[in-house]
Amino acid sequence: MVQHQTEHDNENWDIKISADSGYLDINLREIWRYRDLLMMFVKKDIVTVYKQTILGPIWFMLQPILTAIIYAFIFGQVARISTGNAPQILFYLGSFTIWNYFAETFKVTSKTFSENATVFGKVYFPRIILPLSKVISGIIKLLIQFLLFFVIWAYYLWVKEAITPNWHMVFFPVILALIAFMSLGFGIIITSLTTKYRDLNFLVAFGIQLLQFVTPVIFPISSIKNPSYHLWLWLNPLASLFEAFKYAFLGQGTGVFNYYWLGYSVIWTIVALVVGIVIFNRVEKKFIDTV
Amino acid sequence: MNNDVVIKAENISKQYRLGEIGTGMLSHDLKRWWALARGKEDPFLKVGVENDRTRKANSEYAWALKDINFEIKRGDTLGIIGKNGAGKSTLLKLLSRVTGPTTGQIKIKGRIASLLEVGTGFNPELSGRDNIYMNGTILGMTKKEIGRKFDEIVDFSGIEMYIDTPVKRYSSGMYVRLAFGVAAHLEPEILIVDEVLAVGDAEFQKKCLGKMGDVASHGRTVIFVSHNMQAVQSLCKSAMYMKSGRVMEVGPTDVVINNYLNREVKNCLVRKWEEQDDMPGNDKVRLSSAEIVLHNPEAGNIIDVNTPFDIRFEFYSSAEMVNMNLSLVLNTTAGVCVFNVTTQPTMIAKGWHTSVLSIPGKLLNDDVYTISLYFVKDTSAIEYVIHDLLTFEVIDEQRQGAWFGKWVGAVRPTTLPFSLK
């Protein structure tokens, strides 16, 4: 009877707060219940950026186009780095926009705990909502920015006939999803590791800048003359994604579509995400004591 | 059977690490990790001191909560009382899932919402409208629920005109009212409230307390933490008294509050010296006792704003004949001088003498007071002074009406004739 009662007792509790948690304890139902909050965070991210500006959301587009122009001048004209057969401005605009999405999402999710400690210290909601909202608001910004890319892309495609895109473009959503989840995975790993000891934050700050130059953002891997470096570049899990994107939209010579390396990136993404969720779960309960 | 228990806490403890985080912590973390990796117990869980803030800790760990057990039933309104550092806020943090316990488990039935502050997640750039949704969703409401309550919230906060203005342009009063408006319209099954009532003007506090009373009367469970005994008394059916991270008592509010006051009020009502050498004074005058005596001895040692009492002194004068008067200064512990009264100058002979000051009820405010005593010779020369001779706390009465804020002033002379026709 007593036994029965305890069992009955255990079934009925909605929330259990205890010292330990399961490894993959991600409560999807709870996240779903907080979906309105997720959307509010996304809205806040998008809307507050251009509050009190005259140009409003146009600022989202100005940043990549100005960057692409400067890149085209420095890397294209001064350093004369090859962009394959593609027009430089288009090459830089496309890959910088995607790179920027990765870098920004990674940077902001890697500070989830430290930057939001005041809110986390006062109220409970599934902590993963916050980094998730950054991933989504980033995607929306990226899509706004890609409007500009597509205009210029269409111009080179139909007016100039300078590029040869192909059916691999259907993989675009997959490439974006992989970049989104990879930045989320790595971001929540870093934020979980830096609640107590912040040393890693310093590495992240300049590491992300250096990473851009070993990722095929401003060059296609094929433009590197010495083939013994190629393997090292491909080992970067981001490499195949940038190469695939450029191959699909800009054509031969600007990138390579390699299923094996894409598979390699998929594995990285899954591992980063799973490891990220595991340690995020372990940290989220008590980080507020040490952050 | 156990169906009506909505919160059950089993052996919960919370340990905090004191001091700064740096390389010093790393060695402990490594030791802990190494012990856990070998399947042993966390070595630092065995150490730690009680959370007494007045003493310097002799351990690097402190227990903010230690082995807490309690149950709360559906529809109960529980007030948690205790001094600063008793663990009230830590317990609320655990219940609100802001942080986890070091050991033990809390089980909760139903939707829970906590108000550890008002206006969490408010973004200064967003309009009042957006912030209602932002804050509401953070507190666990859905967009639909907020939409249904939207007009009520705006009405409650009285900011209809400014609803589409960014809240950074709000006055602090408007900001708080909007924030509280959202909070007051939460409809969870369990509501946890920290001392957020300390904000806003009297009228607004009244509104909020009324709203909380509503919540409680609708069969929902409310947990309320406060220093304010009046608010606890009028809102809560039962109370939990905490001290140094432990639960001292759970029971009916009146009983618990009474016991709390008896144990915690820092009174020094009696001081007596047996040996002549110990008595404060000099070769002319020595004080042998000072004590506060309540007119009604059944009241125990609790002095509330209505309690009349005497302050009695006994002293020995060594001079043959001297023109002496006593001067008493009453200060609050914050250092505000409340008054200074003196006896008539009197020729007194060598020997023991007694002096009594009667303090009527309805004179002092709720505060902690200290007494300084002066022996004055020939109405001008101070013979001897004793500062902080006695300390006593005057507590508030159970107030009528719905306002429970701090009554300002060094005194509260409620007998002064003040009429309104």
Q: Place A41 in a pLDDT band, splitting at 50, 70 and 90.
A: very high
The length of chain B in residues reads: 421
Tokens of B394: 């005057």
Q: Which helix (H) or strand (E) holds B30?
A: helix B23-37
Beta bridge partners of B321: B349
Alpha-carbon gap, residue B346 to B323, rounded angstroms: 5
- The answer to whether B167 contacts chain A (CB < 8 Å) is no
- The answer to whether B110 contacts chain A (CB < 8 Å) is yes
SS3 B220: coil
Kindly give the residue spans of alpha helices, DSSP state H, lying in chain A. 2-12, 28-33, 35-49, 58-71, 88-109, 112-115, 117-120, 129-154, 172-193, 199-214, 230-235, 239-250, 259-284
Q: Place B236 in a pLDDT band, splitting at 50, 70 and 90.
A: confident
Is the Cβ–Cβ distance between A55 and A62 less than 8 Å?
yes
Q: What is the pLDDT of residues B34-77, one digit of tens each?
A: 877 777 777 777 666 666 655 565 667 888 898 999 999 888 88
- Beta-carbon separation of B140 and A43 below 8 A: no
Q: Is residue B108 part of a domain?
A: yes
Residues B134 and B179 in one domain: yes
- The answer to whether B298 contacts chain A (CB < 8 Å) is no
Alpha-carbon gap, residue A55 to A34, rounded angstroms: 33
The stretch A146-158 carries a mean pLDDT of 92
Is the Cβ–Cβ distance between A134 and A110 less than 8 Å?
no
SS3 A167: helix
In this prediction, residue B199 carries a pLDDT of 56
Q: Is residue B274 part of a domain?
A: yes
Alpha-carbon gap, residue B21 to B18, rounded angstroms: 9
Strands B61-73 and B49-50: parallel
Tokens of A64: 């990549």
Is the Cβ–Cβ distance between A242 and A258 less than 8 Å?
no
Q: Using N-to-C axis directions, what is the helix angle for A172-193 and A239-250, rounded to 10°? A: 160
Strands B238-243 and B246-252: antiparallel
- Beta-carbon separation of A40 and B101 below 8 A: no
Is residue B398 over pLDDT 90? Answer: no
What's the CATH number where B296 sits? 2.70.50.60
Task: State which amino acid sits at residue B246.
Answer: R
Q: Is residue B332 part of a domain?
A: yes
Give DSSP secondary structure letters for B258-306. Answer: HHHHHHH---B-EEE--STTTSSB-SSEEEEEEEEEESSGGGTT-EETT
Question: A73 — phi, psi (to 5°)?
Answer: -75, -55
Residues B319 and B248 in one domain: no
Residues B254 and B276 in one domain: no
Is residue A2 over pLDDT 50? Answer: no
Q: Which helix (H) or strand (E) holds B251?
A: strand B246-252
Rounded to a whole number, what is the distance in Å from the CA of A8 to chain B's nearest CA?
9
Q: Is residue B120 part of a domain?
A: yes
In this prediction, residue B344 carries a pLDDT of 92
Q: What is the pLDDT of residues B290-308, one digit of tens each?
A: 999 988 877 777 888 888 9
- The answer to whether B143 contacts chain A (CB < 8 Å) is yes
Residues B136 and B165 in one domain: yes
Q: Place B400 in a pLDDT band, splitting at 50, 70 and 90.
A: low
CA distances from A2 to A7, A14, B85 (A): 9, 21, 38
- Beta-carbon separation of A285 and B99 below 8 A: yes
Taking a contact as any Cβ pair under 8 Å apart, which residues of chain B between 25 and 44 contact chain A? 25-26, 29
- Beta-carbon separation of A289 and B138 below 8 A: no
Residues B383 and B235 in one domain: no
What's the CATH number where B223 sits? 3.40.50.300
In this prediction, residue B2 carries a pLDDT of 47
ipTM of the complex: 0.84
The stretch A46-70 carries a mean pLDDT of 87
Q: How high is the mean pLDDT of chain B?
A: 84
Closest partner residue to A5 (CB to CB) among B1, B93, B101 is: B1
The stretch B160-174 carries a mean pLDDT of 89
Is residue A25 over pLDDT 80? Answer: no
A4 → chain B, closest CA residue: B1
- Which of B6, B61, B90, B97 is most worth mutating to test chain A (most A CB atoms within 10 A of its CB)? B97
Contacts of A5 in chain B (CB under 8 A): 1-2
- Beta-carbon separation of A18 and B133 below 8 A: no
Q: Place B15 in a pLDDT band, splitting at 50, 70 and 90.
A: confident
Rounded to a whole number, what is the distance in Å from the CA of B88 to chain A's nearest CA?
15
Q: Place A245 in a pLDDT band, splitting at 50, 70 and 90.
A: very high
In this prediction, residue B57 carries a pLDDT of 59
Closest partner residue to A121 (CB to CB) among B98, B106, B141 is: B98
Residue A140: half-sphere exposure toward Cβ, Cα within 13 Å: 15
Can you tell me which residue has the tokens 């856990």? B36
Backbone CA torsion sign across B18, B21, B22, B28: positive
- The answer to whether B153 contacts chain A (CB < 8 Å) is no
- Which of A122, A195, A283, A286 is most worth mutating to test chain B (most B CB atoms within 10 A of its CB)? A122
In this prediction, residue A97 carries a pLDDT of 95
Task: State which amino acid sits at residue B410.
Answer: A
Kindly give the residue spans of alpha helices, DSSP state H, lying in B127-237. 128-138, 143-157, 172-184, 202-217, 229-235
Contacts of B96 in chain A (CB under 8 A): 123-124
Domain residue limits, chain A: 27-289
Give the rounded percent of residues in chain B with a pLDDT score beyond 70.
89
Contacts of B166 in chain A (CB under 8 A): 51
Q: Which residues contact B171 (CB under 8 A, 6 or more apart)?
A: none
Residues B311 and B244 in one domain: no
Is residue B419 over pLDDT 80? Answer: yes
Residues B245 and B177 in one domain: yes
Is residue B215 over pLDDT 90? Answer: no
In this prediction, residue A29 carries a pLDDT of 83
Residues B248 and B390 in one domain: no
Contacts of A37 in chain B (CB under 8 A): 137-138
Residue ranges making up the domain that contains B387: 270-395
Q: Is residue B216 part of a domain?
A: yes
In this prediction, residue B196 carries a pLDDT of 61
Q: What is the pLDDT of residues A260-274, one digit of tens each?
A: 999 999 999 999 999
Query: Structurally, how many domains does chain B consist of?
Result: 2
